[in-house]
Structure 1
Amino acid sequence: MEKVSISKISNKTLTNMLNNSIELLVEDFIKIVLSDFSSAKKIISIALKQKQAEKVRNKYEENGLHIPPFMISSITSICNLKCKGCYDRLKTHSCSPELSEEEWSGIFLQARDLGISFILIAGGEPLAKDKVIKECMKFPEIIFPIFTNGMLINEEWAGFFSSCRNIIPVVSIEGDKNQTDDRRGEGVFERISLSLDLLGKRNIFYGISITATSDNFDSVLDEDYIRSYIDRGCKAFFFIEYVPFDASTKNLVINSAQRDELDSRLKRLRKRYKGLFIAFPGDEKEFGGCLAAGRGFIHINSRGAVEPCPFAPYSDVSLKNLTLKEALSSSLLNEIRSLHGLFQEHKGGCTLFENKDIVESHLKNITYK
């Protein structure tokens, strides 16, 4: 699809585009699970709830407030692994305590009432905060993909995911055994393979998340590799472009030719296989570029600060002091959205991260609330 200039997309048009995208995504969910009647029944129920959420977002749009359909919630900074190049480990976290399960439940409730359809749960390792994950059960209207390293998945978790089909485990993997263990630690590949087997045996809708780098690019997009996971029951594939947090790892960023190749290979995979194939940020192109800062999603960190994106940890508001609705109109988010036209091109992973000097120069006078 030809890239669309941000100047050509109004908030109303963007809302319609995102709504249409979600409808297609949910339709794909249903097609993939049709062989399992009990799953299909639950997914269809979730789909009907998405139509209601869409109406809520449209109503707010008519009243001048653009509601992003996606929210990323990093519910903890605690993790049981020490992966090479982990961005969360490089960040400086405030001394304030992490949000409790009651506080997260209140945020999910606000998100539901605003019409947010998807809440991506991240960390740290989110399964370390089991009480927060179990709060998600209270919101069957929302789809919760949980991005986990997979090390904590056991029979109990598999049973939980089987009973809550709107909560979707997405296990991080780096490619083959050597690639995964090299970044995540010795024995990790074997352990998460056991976790995937547990999910597959229960016919749980699960996915894998792969950080695409110049090193693993060809291997993780090889059809034999993809087919091997489809045969194990994997139904969703997330390809996240590597972000070079450490200057010494810039060589791992995929180049422009590989980025185009990623797009073409995923289109081919979508035609050939029953599965969801999603690239980030590649799939943002059709929406006129970066969807952060509330265009398509926002990020809530483990201590309640509202940020444009997990890779752009800037915030001027906290959900400990304001409602989610109030936070969506924060000065910082408005300022970053106003800069969006400057960020049409990027060389790797995250345009806000790559242009952080420009972003930070415009945020000097923003007051934290």
Structure 2
Amino acid sequence: MKETQLQGMHADQLANRVLKKEPIFILDVRNGTDFADWRIEGNGVRSMNVPYFELIDGVEAILDTIPSDEEVVVVCAKEGSSIFVAEQLMVAGKMNVSYLIGGMKAWSEQLTPVRIGDLKDGGEVYQFVRVGKGCLSYMVISGGEAVVIDAVRMIGVFEDFAREKNVTITHTLDTHLHADHISGGRELAERTGGQYWLPSKDATEVNFPYQKLEEGRNLAVGQTAISIQPIYSPGHTIGSTSLIVDDRYLLSGDILFVTSIGRPDLAGKAEDWVSDLRTTLYERYPAVSEDLIVLPAHFGKVTELGDGGRVAARLGDLFQKNTGLRMEDESEFRRIVTENLPPQPNAYEDIRRTNMGKINPTEDEQRDMELGPNRCAVHDN
């Protein structure tokens, strides 16, 4: 009788399952602290945490809790421990078992393109969902050209997608100086011959040339009438700049999310920037069309993933549903924004220094710096 061989599941395969909300069972064998801090989540995901060291001598104690009628994926930090446990489960008779290739490090780096919609005069908008980290990047395509917004460091995904669409990347933009992940915008611009844009108020300490992303400057994409219009919207950072694309989409960076608002403290400026944040959310955003579709730079909960994995919402609907936009009492807003904050993102100071060009960590160091969830939000419903 031929033995069934253990199979690995790639991060892109798992991401597609999660984005499609398909059922899957995760056995996470990392230690309890790491699991509690950051795990694989999804609307169809069930998970259980049993540390690897509890399973070294056998998996008999957990066999009754491992389903036989669902696909089971064993997960660890890098993959080694998960292979051992998955093999033991198969020996014990659990046949529908695989392991996550590359572990949580691979999960952190997985990026999946999701189509958002059309543009008025031709072209498309795509959202790139980094489901394991909660980061969202964008590509606006028109007339054979493309602009990439809030690119993460895995820039090969954008290059491959541009080739697939037969377009040239002419611009890369960061809506602000990121503190939770390393930007790939500058490197992507260098590799494609494009221009890199960054808000000047966030760039006072950077060690590289850039184009100033400022309110009042429009960027054309292709030969059509499509433009990307910057709107100064400080609060998360002093330079945060939202973008209105094609009079249809509002790329809000880390100022406004689907169920929350951005935190102002990642540069140690919460008390200084909270007034800017309120002005942006309660004065600047209400002045634009409520029919704009908000496309944020992050999501905080898997419940924010819509059809096909899209993260988007109509601005007018957020004014009605997002608690962060409904705090009329300014003192209450200030208290929540400055006092009720989650922990800082992992290695956020080194990430900011990397994005300024002050340090140049190796690829492995960059992976380690980014491990863990994003924590850019201040208030969740």
Same fold, TM exceeding 0.5? no
Structure with more of its chain in strand, by fraction = 2
The alignment's TM-score, normalised by the length of structure 2, stands at 0.31
Q: Which has the higher contact order (CA 8 A, sep 6+)?
A: 1
Structure with more of its chain in helix, by fraction = 1
Larger Rg: 2
The alignment's TM-score, normalised by the length of structure 1, stands at 0.32
